[in-house]
Amino acid sequence: MRNLSMVCFAYLAATLIGLAPAQTMLGPTPYTCFDDSPFNGLAAEYFHLETFEDHLFNVPGISANRGGVTSVVFGPSIHDSVDCDDGVIDGSGLQGDSFFSITPDITLTFNPIVLGGLPTHAGLVWTDGGAGAQITFEAYGAGGVILGMATGNHADSSNAGTTAEDRFYGVINNDGIAAIRIRHTSGGIEIDHIQYGRVLPTPPCPADFNQDGGIDGADVDAFFAAWEAGDAPADVNQDGGIDGADVDYFFNVWEAGGC
C-alpha cells in the first residue's frame, strides 16, 4: 500500500507540474519586420497583427486606454513606423504609420468575449520615445494579476523615424493575457506591430501517462496505480467512468507507441 501511495503521489506531482501555468516574458529584441517576431508562424486558433498602415486601429477584441494612430493624432510629418512597413528595410520608419500617445505609457486590454478567449501570446514593438528613456513592458492575467515584466534601455536621441532603436516586447501565458502595458520615463511614446493570438494547449498523450517524455513500463505502472485507486486521470478515454474501457484504450495507444 505504501509503494502504491508513493507511485500515485509521484504521478500526481508530475501531472501538476505538467499542467502548471507557464508565463514567459520576451524581449527586448531588435525588430525590423514581422519576420523578426517570435510569433511568426505561430499555429494559433486566432492571430491578429495591427500595423496601422490603413491609418486605423481596427483589429478585433483590443482597446487602448489612451493615444491613437500617429497620422491622426500627431500629424502627417513625423512617424516612427516599423522599418519594413513602407515596403523596404532602409533604416527609416517615416513613410509608415504607428500608434502614439503624448503620455509616456499605453495599456492595451483584450476582450475575451469578442475574441472567444484571452490570447496566450501578445506583444508589440516600441519604436520611439525620449532619449535615454528607461522602458518597461508589463503583462497582466485575468483579475489584474501581474504576470511579469521586461525592461530595456535602447532609446536613442532621434525622433525622425530612425529604426535602430526599435524593439519587440512580448509575453506567453497559457492561462491567458488580459492586458499588456508599455511605459517609459521620458517623453511621448510610439509603438507599432501590436500582435496577439490564442494557442490551444495540446492534450497530454495517454500513452505517456507519467508525462516523462518516454513511453515505457513506467507508464503502465503509473496507469494501473491510478486505475486501481480510481483516480480521475485513469479515465483516459474521458467517458466519465474508470473501467475496463480505459484499460483497452490505454493499451491500444501505448502499444502503438504514442499518440
pLDDT digits (tens, 9 = 90+) for 70-121: 999 887 778 999 999 999 999 998 999 999 999 999 999 999 999 999 999 9
DSSP 8-state assignment for residue 208: S
DSSP 8-state assignment for residue 86: G
- Number of domains present in the structure of the chain: 2
Q: How far apart are CA 184 and CA 169, in angstroms?
A: 13
First to last CA, the chain: 31
The better pLDDT of the pair 160, 255 is held by: 255
Q: Is the pLDDT of residue 17 over 50?
A: no
With cell 478515454, the residue in question is 237
Could you tell me the pLDDT band of residue 214, with boundaries at 50, 70 and 90? confident
Could you tell me the pLDDT band of residue 19, with boundaries at 50, 70 and 90? very low
H or E, element range at 221: helix 217-229
**Shared-domain flag, residues 132 and 244:** no
**Shared-domain flag, residues 178 and 230:** no
Q: Is the pLDDT of residue 21 over 80?
A: no
Phi/psi for 49 (5° steps) reads: -125, 120
**Shared-domain flag, residues 210 and 119:** no
**Shared-domain flag, residues 173 and 221:** no
Secondary structure of 27-52 as H, E, C letters? EEEECCCHHHCCCCCCCCCEEEEECC
**Shared-domain flag, residues 65 and 149:** yes
Dihedral angle of Cα 110, 73, 124, 29, to the nearest 10 degrees: -160
Is 91 part of a structural domain of the chain?
A: yes
Q: Residue 157 to residues 81, 139, 161: CA-CA distances in angstroms?
A: 16, 27, 11
**Shared-domain flag, residues 188 and 206:** no
Could you tell me the pLDDT band of residue 22, with boundaries at 50, 70 and 90? low
Q: Residue 168 is part of which domain span?
A: 21-198
Is 156 part of a structural domain of the chain?
A: yes
**Shared-domain flag, residues 150 and 42:** yes
With cell 486566432, the residue in question is 46
Q: Is the pLDDT of residue 204 over 60?
A: yes
Q: What angle do CA 239, 240, 246 make, to 5 degrees?
A: 60
Q: Is the pLDDT of residue 205 over 70?
A: yes
Q: Is the pLDDT of residue 3 over 70?
A: no
- Report the phi/psi class of residue 258: left, alpha or beta, with left for phi > 0 and alpha for psi in -120 to 50: left
Is 74 part of a structural domain of the chain?
A: yes
Residue type at position 173: N
Output the pTM of the full model.
Answer: 0.74
**Shared-domain flag, residues 139 and 160:** yes
**Shared-domain flag, residues 126 and 75:** yes
**Shared-domain flag, residues 35 and 100:** yes
Exposed e or buried b per residue across 111-141, where buried means at least 16 C-beta atoms within 10 angstroms of its C-beta: eeeebeebbbbbbbbbbbbbeebebbbbbbb
Is 12 part of a structural domain of the chain?
A: no
Give me the chain's average pLDDT, please.
Answer: 89
What pLDDT, on the 0 to 100 scale, is given for residue 102? 93
CA–chain centroid gap for 218, Å, is 33
What pLDDT, on the 0 to 100 scale, is given for residue 5? 42
Pairing of strands 99-101, 189-198: antiparallel
Q: Residue 76 to residues 69, 72, 125: CA-CA distances in angstroms?
A: 11, 8, 21
Could you tell me the pLDDT band of residue 11, with boundaries at 50, 70 and 90? very low
Could you tell me the pLDDT band of residue 244, with boundaries at 50, 70 and 90? very high
The residue from 198, 215, 233 where one domain ends is 198
Best CA proximity match to 81, nearest among 44, 31, 145:
31
The residue from 178, 198, 218 where one domain ends is 198
Is 4 part of a structural domain of the chain?
A: no
**Shared-domain flag, residues 174 and 246:** no
What pLDDT, on the 0 to 100 scale, is given for residue 247? 92
